[in-house]
Amino acid sequence: MLACRFLACAVVLVGTISWVWGWTRAHDQASRMPALAGLVPEPFRSHPDHCAFGVYPDRMNDWDIAQGENGRWAVLLLVREAVEALRQGDGPRACFLASVASHYPQDALCMSHSPLLMMSNARASDDLLPASVRPLLDKLPVERASREVRRYARGRKAELMKDRGFFTAQKPPELLPDLYTGVQGYVHDWLEDTAAALSLPPDQRGTIVGGQSLGQQPAWTWSEILRRRSKALQGTPLERLTEYERCNGIEGWSFYHRWLAAEYQGQWLLPFALWHHWPDKPAFRDSEALQAVFAEEFRIGVEATATLYRYVATAAQTQVVADWGPFKDHDARFDALVKEDVTIQVAEDRPDWRRAAAFLHQEFLFARQRQKSQANIALQTDAADARPAPAGHWIVLEKGTAYRLDVRPRAPGQPWLAIRLQVPDKDLAAMSHLVDLLLDEAQAPLWSTSPPQTVLKALTVYWAGSHLMRDLRTQKRSPEQLLDFVRQVPHRNTEDDKARFADAVRSTQRTPGLHPWLRWWQTYTP
């Protein structure tokens, strides 16, 4: 959707570096919109220009290092740095870093990356789909093929797209048909470039074939995206689909959980809204309906970004007292804790607290799986039936007088921890972000690679983002100087960096990987 694989060398010098392809700024539009639409707290509302750097990882050429499965760890480093900047009173720097971090969840929800359409392993994973949608999988008008495609604005020569997804609809779509024909129905480029054309102002659509057919239609605004929502799923298999609807929202969502839900919505469900005439001969919906689908994709990206900004703002206000006792030197700390029983208690009768606790509980279950442990991992969500925690580690989500994450031994000399997550009565919805903070403090792998320190150390050494953060940390700049500096993209990864990084993380594993997480969310019942 918002930007995927862009060649970082495509720049021209005009005072500072600017990008040849205006459509790469679509990521930036989604990163900036939560601030412009008032969906997030300060300092983000007051610094929308510093929030407009969602495409920055592509500009740093960090593919094969920080993108993909290692994105979770890149986000952890960026969030830590943003939180520290905010605690030091440097709002513009915090906003910039958080907007750079927004790239990774945004990239994860793109329809253009959907395994259903790109034909990677969709057939083996149909159990990730709701039961009502599974029979439609074989009806998707896509095929796996190898063709030479001219990838407009990505290079002058045709490029062999080997074993990739191509649309097989009988008629081209009404929306940007010239682009569709030009890329021979190549799934990735038509979806990505169409989404970008719609999200950008008219004067920035010049590099997108057929972009002029949109005329002076303005770029997306939040009100326009919300206006189109009702039509996005109308008459499609997703209309009133519970599994889709429960992924929506900002307030009360853990950022990491919203990232997962956004990926499920964007890659696994939303593609079914591109066509009508199910289940016989699916055909592209009309231009207005397709535009509504792309607006819906953009909405999901904005919501995921808003939860990220809210997490950063909450974490900066949170007092962290972390005495991990005998576990302080462990890498993925949950993996160490699950050698003993763990009990998670929810002390308030709130659906968002129960959802956040269930997400936390699932990470503990995957940690137990990694460690081949037989420990009991209990989740108590009935606040009215709260009982004293049994022996083992105890985690409680409760009201307090401030934002506080407190980790300490349950009693002197005991091998068990008591972990209290507290939020003030005025902001109970922030509990989800205390869960985010605990996941980061414990370096929980989630759906990424493990062991964490192997990847984090390699990112610190080889990733351009780490070098950039170091520069910004050691030399103070005014808000205007910060913008001037980062727009020059002073750090970019090289092919040598990528080779060295790959060698450094060769021993890591995806445990459990993304699909078990998606399978949990697809079957989760509140």
Antiparallel, parallel or unpaired: β 449-450 and 158-167: unpaired
Q: Is 16 helix (H, G, I), strand (E, B) or coil?
A: strand
**The residue type at 447:** W
Tracing tokens 């804790």 back to the chain, one arrives at 337
Q: Where on the phi/psi map is residue 89: left (φ > 0), alpha (ψ -120 to 50), or beta? A: left
List Cβ neighbours of 309 (8 Å cut-off, separation of 6 or more): 34, 35, 40, 41, 44, 51, 98, 102
C-alpha 63/C-alpha 55 separation (Å) is 12
Give the pLDDT confidence score for residue 250 in this predicted structure: 98
CA distance 335 to 369: 9
75 touches 466 (CB < 8 A) = no
Rounded to whole angstroms, the Cα distance separating 51 from 65 reads 23
- Radius of gyration in angstroms for the set of CA atoms belonging to the chain, rounded to a whole number: 23
Asked if 76 contacts 122 with a C-beta cutoff of 8 angstroms, the reply is no
Pick the closest to residue 432 from 403, 409, 408 (CA basis): 403
Which residue in the block uniquely carries the two structure tokens 């699932």? 362
CA distance 362 to 520: 8
Beta bridge partners of 149: 159
In whole angstroms, give the CA distance from residue 462 to residue 179. Answer: 37
**Before 43, cis peptide (omega within 30)?**
yes
Nearest to 96 by CA among 131, 140, 44: 44
Kindly state the tokens that stand for 245. 């609807």
Mean per-residue pLDDT pooled into runs of 10, the chain (526 residues): 38 30 67 97 98 95 94 98 98 98 96 85 77 91 92 77 92 96 94 90 85 90 95 95 96 98 97 90 95 97 98 98 94 96 96 98 97 96 79 96 96 91 98 98 96 97 98 96 97 98 95 93 90
Reference 407, options 356, 336, 465; nearest CA is 336
Domain boundaries, the chain: 19-116+174-212+221-317, 327-428
pLDDT for 153 equals 62
Q: How crowded is the C-beta side of 434, counted as CA atoms within 13 Å?
A: 33
At 385 the pLDDT is 75
Q: Are 244 and 266 in contact (CB under 8 A)?
A: no
What tokens appear for 295 in the block?
Answer: 């607006």
Name the residue with tokens 């279950």. Answer: 365
Q: Is the backbone of residue 413 left (phi > 0), alpha (psi -120 to 50) or beta? A: left
Which pair of tokens denotes residue 111?
Answer: 């329809």
- CB atoms < 10 A from the CB of 426, how many? 6
Q: For 509, phi and psi rounded to 5 degrees?
A: -135, 150
Please report how many Cα atoms fall inside a 13 Å half-sphere around the Cα of residue 323, on the Cβ side. 12
The answer to whether residues 303 and 258 touch, using CB atoms and an 8 Å cutoff, is yes
Task: Give the helix, strand, coil percentages of the chain, each rounded to 5.
Answer: 50, 15, 35
| Residue 157 tokens, joined | 């020569």
**Strand pairing partners for 378?**
343
Paired tokens of 99: 């907007």
Give the strand pairing for 342-346 and 377-380. parallel
CATH of 327-428, one of 3.10.620, 2.60.120, 3.30.379, 3.40.50: 3.30.379
Task: Quickly tell me which residue has 């910004």 as its tokens.
Answer: 472
